[in-house]
Amino acid sequence: MMNADKQFNEALKTCNNMDQVLDVVQKFYALDRPFGIATKIIVIAGVKKILDVVKAEPRTTIIK
């Protein structure tokens, strides 16, 4: 049986878009821990950079 890191890496290899990547990350990691102030700033900046790199298009209607 593959260990969790190998399974995570293999699952990421099957992703074709950012939506799929986020699904894989959510499957393998608990992401509900609160941010510290510095961590929040770094995460927000990183997400904005990722959106730029993947050339994400803004939605015309925000999903709730």
User: Which domain does 45 fall in, by range?
Assistant: 4-53
Distance from C-alpha of 64 to C-alpha of 45, rounded to nearest angstrom: 23
| Helix ranges, 14-60 (H) | 18-28, 37-53
pLDDT at res. 42 = 97
For the chain, 64 residues long, the average pLDDT of each consecutive 10-residue run is 88 97 97 96 97 95 88
pLDDT at res. 48 = 97
Residue 60 counted as domain residue: no
Residue 23 dihedral angles phi and psi, to the nearest 5°: -60, -45
Please list, in sequence order, all residues whose beta carbon lies within 8 angstroms of the beta carbon of residue 53, skipping any fewer than 6 positions away: none
Residue 61 counted as domain residue: no
Please tell me the total count of domains within the chain: 1
pLDDT at res. 24 = 98
Residue 35 counted as domain residue: yes
Write out the two tokens for 61.
């209607």
pLDDT at res. 1 = 56
